Amino acid sequence: MFGVLKRNPSAVLLAVALHVVIVLFMVVGVDWQEKPKPVGAKAQVVKAKIVDAKQLQSEIDKLKKAEQQKKASAVAKREAEQKKLSELQKRRKAEKAKLAKLKKERIAREKLEAKKKLEAKKKAVAEKKRQAEIAKRVAAEKKKQDKEKKRLADLEKKRKKEAEAQKAEQKKQREAAEKKRKAAEKKKAEADKKRKAEAALKKKQEADRQKKIAAEKKAAQIKAENDARQREFEMAQQEEQDASEKQRVIGAIIAKVERNWLQPPGTSTAGLSCTVRVRLGGTGSVLLVNVIKSSGNGAFDRSVEAAVRKADPLPMPTSTRLQAAFRDIKFVFTPDS
């Protein structure tokens, strides 16, 4: 409030004066009509004179009209005063709202300034604390570095002392090693002489052994070549026998199928043939039969499959090697052949 008074003294004084005037008008009140003047004792006596009634009525009307105009003027004046009073009240209300707004803004500014001051104070305290921490860390680091320097100096002193002792020890060890080396060289020379003699003996023995191995290897190679030729001869004989046996069994199977084959009625078999696949059991029993290459004549193909089933069991080779191969066979069936 005092801040507003300092900034706008004339506006505040004017507002106070208007409020005082409004209060006086409301308390005292104002009668704008002219009060009738009392007839005094000193009134002059007018001599009576006869007046025309019509003229009198006219004068009365004039007086009434003047009275009405006076009253209307007073009413208009009161209304103007009321309007002015209303405007003053509005201005007072607006001024009050403006003062309240100014007060609110001032309080907000004061709060903001107080907040800023508090934050600045906090920042200053925090900065002071941070600087103190930094100083503390710097002091601790310096103390640590001084301690590390002292430790390194002690280590360097110890290292030099140990290096001198190690140097002396190494010299002593070199002298002992040189003495030992000379003794070892002498011993090595004697050992080399002995080793050369042993190596010459071993070389002679190895040469004899190699000759013996070469002779044995040559004999084994000759035997292996002879054995290989014998196996090749036996395998060739066996393959020839297997081929003959296989051809014989296939011929027997086809012959048995032909004996059991019945030509389909009304079908000419001239030039017909089909490839048949048969799966057999261990004793030659027919497990599965189907035509894998058709003759082009369905009735002929079906008659061949029926003949194979009817010929069950089919002939099998006596060789155990070929029996495994005959579990799944294929052959071409041509009746004309």
Q: For residue 8, what are its two tokens?
A: 């706008």
The DSSP letter of residue 48 is P
Query: Residue 245: exposed, middle, or buried by beta-carbon count in 10 A (0-12, 13-18, 19+)?
Result: middle
**CA–CA–CA angle 283, 289, 292 (5° rounding):** 135
Q: Which residues does 334 contact at the CB level (< 8 Å), separation at least 6?
A: 272, 273
Give kind and range of the element (H or E) at residue 287: strand 286-293
Q: Which pLDDT value is given to residue 259?
A: 92
Between CA 326 and CA 280 the distance in angstroms is 7
Per-position pLDDT tens, the chain of length 337: 566 566 777 776 778 788 877 777 676 655 545 555 555 545 555 455 565 788 888 988 999 999 999 999 999 999 999 999 899 999 999 999 998 999 999 988 999 998 999 997 999 788 999 998 968 997 889 999 989 999 998 999 999 999 898 988 998 899 988 989 988 898 887 888 889 889 888 898 998 899 889 888 887 888 888 777 877 776 677 777 878 888 999 999 999 999 999 988 887 778 889 999 999 998 899 999 999 999 999 999 999 999 999 999 999 998 888 888 888 999 999 987 5
Q: Which pLDDT value is given to residue 21?
A: 72
Q: How far is CA 118 from the centre of its chain?
A: 45
Q: Order of strands across the sheet with 328-333?
A: 286-293, 274-280, 328-333
Calculate the dihedral angle through the C-alpha atoms of 127, 128, 130, 133, rounding to the nearest 10 degrees: 170
Give me the domains of the chain, ranges plus CATH numbers. 260-333 (3.30.1150.10)
Between CA 262 and CA 323 the distance in angstroms is 29
Query: Residue 288 — φ and ψ, nearest 5°?
Result: -155, 140
What sign results for the dihedral spanned by CA atoms 142, 146, 147, 149?
positive
CA distances from 322 to 245, 285, 314, 327 (A): 8, 16, 14, 9
Q: Which pLDDT value is given to residue 35?
A: 55
The DSSP letter of residue 223 is H
Helix, strand, coil shares of the chain, percent, nearest 5, are: 75, 5, 20
**CA–CA–CA angle 24, 1, 106 (5° rounding):** 140
The pTM is what? Answer: 0.33
Q: For residue 323, what are its two tokens?
A: 């029996």
